A = this chain, B = another copy of it.
Amino acid sequence: MEYQNIFSDSASKMKASKIRELMKYASMPGVISFGGGSPDPLNFPFAEVKDIINKWDDKKAGAAMQYGGTEGYPPLIEKIAERMKDKKNIDLTGQKIQITTGGQQGVFLLSKILLNPDDIVLVEEPSFIGAMASFLSHQARLVGVPLKNDGVDCEALEQTVIDLAKSNKKPKFFYTIPNFQNPGGSTLSMEKRKKIYEISKKYDLIVLEDDPYGDLYFNGEEKDYLPIKSLGADAPIVYMGSFSKILCPGFRLGWLLGDGALIDKAALAKQSVDACSTSFGQFVAYDYLASGAIDGYLSKMRSVYRAKKDFMIEAIRKYFPKEARYTEPNGGFFIYVDLPEGVSGEALFKKTMEKKIAFVTGEAFHIDPVEGDKHIRLSFSNSSKEEIEKGIAVIAEEMNNALNN
């Protein structure tokens, strides 16, 4: 049977994630990868997780191994709500929380309940490929808004909304990663957070605020990175959290926090997507939050990632040609590089892969592939100092070779 002719329109719009494809290379023996956005596996709290599981009695284990409600495990939802209120200063009036199968599913569910074919979605450019792939798989049209060092260009954002309104169009939502953006590495300034809040309120523009890295800051404190959603309850903002970076990705757990009507619909969509997220993982996550272990863990991981970032920045300073520019992130996993003029990301990747050094080319993150080819994303989260030193030196060497040819 020839399947090519029978796939759905949605399937024909699907874009393979370069990152996922790249993970295949990255996992080959001997490859140093700055590619995936993976946490440091040497520092997962396995001892704590094992302890948690070993303490379960048969009754608790029975519930942890069973189906759960679609919304999620109620005590976990309550713990997250507490945390969102206490740590992120979010007003929960009229809001609900939905547990999702990883942060990715949060993006997917919102896409599914909001997007019709040809609907417009505003994204930062560059933006996270997994989210853009989800919007595209719902046949949306992506419109990019430039990302600056202090976050998205708010004037361009508002102007885009105004321009679209002139032709009777309204974007379904604006997708943003305020903290330590993926891939850009930039942090949205507090002033711009206020501005986005005002735009959302003024134009009834739904904002999907994706914040998987928010707890992994290197400078300042919690209050310097408070969500846009913390600024008030009068704008349609959905906050998206993830356990992937504060516990581990291996359980696939995240959450949505938004208006009750929206979350109810997301729950309804989830019924047919995967019925419920892992009870086992949710029980672990609950015990992990309830024990307070998370705060010590986050404090430790901020140091671990800060050291890796410092080391990569140092190596970049040491080796990269001066024409290359790069972000110095305040947190998260990523450094975004503007390649020297005339150096192609794609060509550079091919060269460094011959020496078993991997990263992600910017094309993955841009709507405009020509612009994309001028950048690469380097992740420092999952590499040792030795790997960083060696890998950055190789990338620099190949940049110089390209410049000299």
Closest to A113 in B: B11
- Roughly how many angstroms separate A233 CA and B1 CA in the complex, as a whole number? 11
A38 / chain B contacts, CB cutoff of 8 Å = 66-67
| A70 lies within 8 A of chain B by Cβ | yes
Q: How large is the interface on A (under 10, 10 to 19, 20 to 34, 35 or more residues)?
A: 35 or more
Which of A15-23, A149-157, A361-369 faces chain B?
A15-23
The interface centre, meaning the residue of A58, A68, A114, A249 with most chain B CB atoms within 10 A of its CB, is A249
Interface membership of A274, Cβ < 8 A: yes
Nearest to A234 among chain B residues (CB) is B1
Which residues from chain B contact A56 at a C-beta distance below 8 Å? 46
Nearest CB of chain B from residue A237's CB, rounded to whole Å: 10
B113 touches A7 (CB 8 A): yes
**Given A46-B58, A248-B65: A10 touches B112 (CB 8 Å cut-off):** yes
B249 in contact with A20 (CB, 8 Å):
no
Query: Is A185 positioned at the interface, with any CB of B under 8 Å from its CB?
Result: no
Chain B neighbourhood of A115, CB < 8 A: 8
Binary B-proximity of A233-249 (CB < 8 A = 1, otherwise 0)? 00010000000100011
Bound complex: CA A27 to CA B173 (Å): 37
Beyond A27-B69, A104-B275, A281-B281: 20 further Cβ-contacts under 8 Å? A4-B261, A6-B206, A7-B265, A8-B115, A10-B116, A11-B112, A11-B268, A20-B69, A23-B67, A41-B63, A41-B65, A64-B250, A66-B248, A105-B273, A105-B274, A249-B279, A250-B280, A252-B252, A252-B276, A278-B281
Interface residues of A (CB under 8 A from B): 1, 3-4, 6-11, 14, 16-17, 20, 23-24, 27, 36, 38-39, 41-42, 44, 46, 49-50, 53-54, 56, 58, 61-70, 101-102, 104-105, 107-108, 112-116, 119, 130, 133-134, 136-138, 172, 204, 206, 236, 244, 248-252, 259, 261-262, 265, 268-269, 271-281
Which 4 A-B residue pairings sit nearest by Cβ, starting from the closest? A41-B62, A65-B248, A65-B250, A46-B61
